Structure 1
Amino acid sequence: MAGRDDPGKFFVGNLSWNTDNDVLWRYFSRYGELSDAVVIMDRQTGRSRGFGFVTFRDPQCVDEVLHEGQHTIDGRQVLP
């Protein structure tokens, strides 16, 4: 789902605890040029909270990601 303020930004849920920013970046960069890919971390524990956000420079790349359907990162089916 694209964000209101940034049409190239979307939520990615159900991430593995082992997925980091680099893994997220490498996976989604196959769909187009990224400007950001971040896994949200718990401030107290430093562990992943299991979700993140990806931002494409070209908002139309989000449509391609969503059109493909299922995505598996680090052995888990994620929810874009």
Structure 2
Amino acid sequence: MMYTITRGPSKLVTQRRTAWQEVEQQLGDGAGAGGEPAGTQGPVQYTEKTPSPVMKNFVPIDLEEWWAQRFLANIANLS
């Protein structure tokens, strides 16, 4: 199976990446940073007040790394 990225999805990916970088920058600078007008708030970072014991050992995965490994495995399977 071969995948092709066309301009539409590529443009969407670029827009999403730019938007996410803005959110990360605002979170790093503190709420209200980033040239926002007075009286508006920046993004709010959610923190669980009472964490679930079930999620105590949860370790998030790096999705970029996971997709890279999957991509390389698919290439290896085509060979």
TM-score normalised by structure 2 residue count = 0.20
Larger Rg: 2
Higher helix share: 2
TM-score normalised by structure 1 residue count = 0.20
